[in-house]
Amino acid sequence: MRIEYNRPILLVEDNPMDVDLTQRAFARRKLLNPLQVARDGEAALEYLKTWGGNQPLPVVVLLDINLPKVSGLEVLRHLKTHPKMRTVPVIMLTSSAEDGDIQEAYQSGANSYIVKPVDFDKFLEVAERIDLYWNVINLPPR
Partner 1 sequence: MPDQERPILLIEDNPMDADLTRRAFAKRKVLHPIEVARDGEEALTCLQQWEAGKPLPIVILLDLKLPKLDGLEVLQYLKTHARFRSIPVVILTTSNEDGDIQTAYQVGANSYIVKPVNFDEFMRVVDQIQTYWCTLNIPPQV
In the bound state with partner 1, the residue whose beta carbon lies nearer, of 55 and 138, is 138
For 81-111, b/e burial (b = at least 16 CB within 10 A) is eeeebeebbbbbbbebeeeebbebbeebebb
Dihedral of the alpha carbons of 63, 141, 131, 102, in degrees to the nearest 10: 40
Q: Does 107 interact with partner 1 (rule: CB under 8 A)?
A: yes
Window of 5-13, 30-38, 39-47, 81-89 that interacts with partner 1 by CB under 8 A: 81-89
Closer Cβ to partner 1, 106 or 120, answer by number? 106
Can you tell me which of 19, 35, 102, 124 binds partner 1, judged by CB under 8 A? 102
Residue 55 near partner 1 by CB under 8 A: no
First to last CA, the chain: 16
Q: Do residues 12 and 67 make contact, with C-beta atoms less than 8 angstroms apart?
A: yes
Does 111 sit near partner 1 (CB under 8 A)? Answer: yes
> Contact residues for partner 1 (CB under 8 A)?
86-87, 89, 97, 99, 102-103, 106-107, 109, 111-115, 126, 129-130, 132-133, 137-142
